[in-house]
Amino acid sequence: MRLAGKVALISGAARGMGAAEALMFAREGAQVVIGDVLEAEGRGVEADIKAKGGEAVFTRLDVTSESDWQKAVGVAQSRFGKLNVLVNNAGIGGGGRIEDTTVEDWDRMMDINAKGVFLGTKSVIPAMRRAGGGSIINISSQLGLVGTDNSSPQYQASKGAVRLLTKATAVQYAREGIRANSVHPGPIVTAMTERRRADPAQRQLMVSRIPLGRYGEPDEVAYGVLYLASDESAFMTGSELVIDGGWTAQ
């Protein structure tokens, strides 16, 4: 098993890519802490993992709350004895142009997508230090690398911030054996993309920008996250793993 003996905390793990990561991590031997504000769905993922013989626990986690992050790290340590992996997966999306964006819209997305990653990273470092090292995996986006005309400025800015926070973390903590890498998915079949996928014109527009000609599946991202969580990526830090069907290759 690729994650045997490791304890992982995943934010936004109640559905979508986060749930796929949690299920895959558990299959590969990790003990998983499922963090999310969606309690019923999060407990459902916990039950699913346990039904398949894995180990998991749900904790309510609002990623904009430092005290929630500290509680989640405490759950990992009290339940499983340590913390080796953090996946900063939680995030929200949206569309719109700069001149139509309100300050409230900007602040909300930056709070969840960027500050949430900062708080998660800050909160796990002491636990990873005690564990002798660890892996932090931050879910950014292909739009953290390039701009586009049909996504919100705050989404693109927040995901760009995640990319560079990842590099700062990697450089500052490499000597302590704490690695940090960002993952940049393209359009994936999740609840976040459901509205656009349901609109034939929007779906066609998105697919036209993906050389592979389709949306990705959550497991296709989870396999990349699994690699970064495992010791197979021990010499990888401060890097971007792009899983976007070729979007940024054009």
- CATH value at residue 103: 3.40.50.720
Tens digits of residue pLDDT in 183-198: 999 999 998 888 888 8
pLDDT band of 209, cuts 50, 70, 90: very high
- Is 178 a member of any domain? yes
Structure tokens at 10: 């995943």
- Is 249 a member of any domain? no
Query: Which domain, by its residues, includes 139?
Result: 7-241
- Is 171 a member of any domain? yes
- Is 138 a member of any domain? yes
Structure tokens at 235: 């010499």
**Can 215 be counted among the known catalytic residues?**
no
Three-class SS state of 84? coil
- Is 1 a member of any domain? no
C-alpha angle with apex 177: 172 to 183, nearest 5 degrees? 75
- Is 248 a member of any domain? no
Structure tokens at 173: 């903590």
Given a cut of 90, whether residue 202 has pLDDT beyond it is no
What's the predicted TM-score (pTM) here?
0.96
- Is 20 a member of any domain? yes
Given a cut of 90, whether residue 95 has pLDDT beyond it is no
- Is 250 a member of any domain? no
**Catalytic choice (155, 173, 215, 227):** 155
Q: Count the domains in the chain.
A: 1
